[in-house]
Structure 1
């Protein structure tokens, strides 16, 4: 069973039961039709980028466990292949966070010279850190993995990347740590997936189980529609995440809010352990979910007006960031063509086109000739880094984030 590629809905059908608890008390809280099903694919030209496959979002809230998911997801619609480019490691801000995270896990859990599995490893950057900092032997699996990209890098001799979807037999080896970062949100049958991981743990072993996901409570509180997109079909708060892990047979140890509250990380194990008890946040989830659609509509209209006003005043508008947030942001714009430039620090994305709108992805240096008057930063955590880069280019545009 290819669990990472399996979902429960076919075209025209909605998922009728919660994938995390099986409950049927569901409420639709937000919908958006005709959005790109793949946000991080590399397209060679604008025409092919505009022809990206599209799908619908129908976010449903489970009143029983608090889980939120896209009930309109279609099996196999999103493409995860060598064309998928999600790397954030070219940002000094992210690289610093990533390195600190790896070092903290190594120290806290004595991960030195151990066997580590990462499910959904991307291009293997985190495994490289675990190898470099702890001399761990690491196996990563991801259909978008590019083993050749890490060849010759320090620590790569202890890292094996498998460019495939996760399969249950891979969990039936003995590992000291099982890592899964920014992957669970791409999987609909969340409980089934975690039960497969749990069943694969060798009897008598007690590995660290470490997952990282987006923080859905922040999305709900901020009506952060840029963080709602087709690839992300599953949304967790601290409480719904801890409840899922317990139901799947794990013992949660702690849940942390990280990266300016954008990420949740959960550390768990199996067997007897001082189980972490998250606060019951179901009432708060329900309250925020009930008003989500209206609050998103207000924010989307405000951004459309702001961009149009800038253009009317003769100002040039650029957005910084070409990944999933940018795809979602532009998909919600009634006139996305008013955005004159999209820039990204990742050189692997530069020269390609944005899924959906076909915007060319520029390098920061390309902005020197475009000379924007207004730069909209897709992720506020990078604002200071971007301001520094713009200043180094001799540019002084107004810089805003989606939060202001």
Structure 2
């Protein structure tokens, strides 16, 4: 999510047109950007918990206008509106209720502790959410952690092992939070919510002493997969910045970091980067590795329409058979699915294993979010899984509940 108050940033890397659309690349400052995908009237907050259907249907709306930078390969939503997004205590983004994700999260924390010798160290997370990763770092290495996030809920950590060494600060990130130099600074699934990417990374770099050699770890959605596979469910208003390995590495190098490692993980969904403050300025080549992506961007509109047609057909066939249709997963992917295909009226319910989401309503469409246990009574004929990495987990849950149905995965 967005963890920096953008009112403190200048637009030195971005030219803003009269209609509010950002024309120049926020990553490298180039004016050579190409518009290739537009969606209008989309919810601007896809993880907000709405108490009533009317409130959910009447949520704030914005637009998506994806531009591709021909210089550095960065993709961004030129129509992103920061003033229409909300990051507060009712922003429910945690994936920690999934056993699949929890295993990945714990393994990632263990990997960081081992590779960077994080034992009794000072660690910080920008965009810590509800603090789960910081707690893991505390548990596995007895580290002391500080998490900064306006949606943080410190009370969620009461009584959790290792939480006594973790402090959550429900604020937007500012350079002053780095006054005490951390040994390890991480920022997971947050940079994609930041519109002024270069300013953000430069702000972080300015707060770090190069002699300290703080290890910096970032994790973002991997954009090559999104564009290559037309994963429209991963394109929504809050995600204003989309990175490939090349554009992410360029951003860090031109911002004063020495990149030590990049990787693609979690079924090719997550891109990670590790870096340390560079002793000397680096001059990266912004055009490295962009030719294949440029071809995918050029063919994206036509391929996307075919992909969306397929999913409309899947839902229409189920309804023609008189089946009840349920989406499994009520987060951002489901919001995009419901608002992108024009078939929201054919989907009956949305379910989620996160109990904090139950009995709330989906942004934009007002679908009720039900507990998986309620599916026994609902008797769906088709369950569409919003993320295929959870297919085995969800199939096992359906069997345990006693539901027999067709399962399709995005």
Q: If the TM-score is normalised by the length of the shorter chain, which range does it land in?
A: over 0.9
Structure 2 CA distance for aligned equivalents of residues 4 and 228 of structure 1: 25
SS at match of 1:82: coil
Matched residue, 1:374: 382
Matched residue, 1:191: 198
2:163 counterpart (152, 156, 159) = 156
Matched residue, 1:108: 115
| Equivalence map 1:250-399=2 (5 Å) | 250-271=257-278, 280-399=288-407
SS at match of 1:342: strand
1:107–1:20 CA distance, 2 compared to 1 (3 A): same
Alignment RMSD: 1.9
1:213 counterpart (220, 245, 249) = 220
CA-to-aligned-CA distance 1:146-171 (integer Å, 9 cap, x gap)? 00000111111100000011112112
Is the 8 Å Cα contact of residues 173 and 201 (structure 1) preserved in structure 2? Answer: no
Matched residue, 2:26: 19
CA-to-aligned-CA distance 1:48-90 (integer Å, 9 cap, x gap)? 0001100000000000000000001113211100110001000
Matched residue, 1:57: 64
Aligned-pair CA distance for 1:122 = 0.2
Q: In the comparison of the two structures, how many residue pairs are matched? A: 401
| Equivalence map 1:18-167=2 (5 Å) | 18-167=25-174
SS at match of 1:285: helix
Structure 2 CA distance for aligned equivalents of residues 144 and 49 of structure 1: 19
TM-score when scaled to structure 2?
Answer: 0.94
Structure 2 CA distance for aligned equivalents of residues 72 and 188 of structure 1: 10
1:144–1:10 CA distance, 2 compared to 1 (3 A): farther
1:228 counterpart (221, 231, 235) = 235
Aligned-pair CA distance for 1:285 = 1.1
Matched residue, 2:409: 401
CA-to-aligned-CA distance 1:68-113 (integer Å, 9 cap, x gap)? 0000111321110011000100000000000000000000000010
Matched residue, 2:178: 171
1:194–1:4 CA distance, 2 compared to 1 (3 A): farther
**Residue ranges of structure 2 left out of the alignment (5+ in a row):** none
Is the 8 Å Cα contact of residues 70 and 287 (structure 2) preserved in structure 1? Answer: no
SS at match of 1:76: helix
1:5–1:366 CA distance, 2 compared to 1 (3 A): farther
**Residue ranges of structure 1 left out of the alignment (5+ in a row):** none
Matched residue, 2:208: 201
Is the 8 Å Cα contact of residues 210 and 278 (structure 2) preserved in structure 1? Answer: no
Structure 2 CA distance for aligned equivalents of residues 277 and 346 of structure 1: 43
Q: Are 2:247 and 1:240 equivalent residues in the alignment?
A: yes
Structure 1 CA distance for aligned equivalents of residues 104 and 316 of structure 2: 36
Is the 8 Å Cα contact of residues 214 and 262 (structure 1) preserved in structure 2? Answer: yes
Aligned-pair CA distance for 1:126 = 0.2
Structure 1 CA distance for aligned equivalents of residues 157 and 26 of structure 2: 36
More displaced, 330-339 or 104-113? 330-339
Aligned-pair CA distance for 1:279 = 10
Matched residue, 1:2: 5
CA-to-aligned-CA distance 1:194-218 (integer Å, 9 cap, x gap)? 0010000025210110000000000
Structure 1 CA distance for aligned equivalents of residues 17 and 323 of structure 2: 45
Structure 2 CA distance for aligned equivalents of residues 384 and 139 of structure 1: 35
Is the 8 Å Cα contact of residues 7 and 74 (structure 1) preserved in structure 2? Answer: no
Structure 1 CA distance for aligned equivalents of residues 285 and 376 of structure 2: 51
Aligned-pair CA distance for 1:299 = 1.3
Is the 8 Å Cα contact of residues 5 and 165 (structure 1) preserved in structure 2? Answer: no
Structure 1 CA distance for aligned equivalents of residues 164 and 254 of structure 2: 37
Is the 8 Å Cα contact of residues 10 and 75 (structure 1) preserved in structure 2? Answer: no
CA-to-aligned-CA distance 1:335-371 (integer Å, 9 cap, x gap)? 3021111000000111100001000001100101001
Is the 8 Å Cα contact of residues 3 and 167 (structure 1) preserved in structure 2? Answer: no
Is the 8 Å Cα contact of residues 109 and 133 (structure 2) preserved in structure 1? Answer: yes
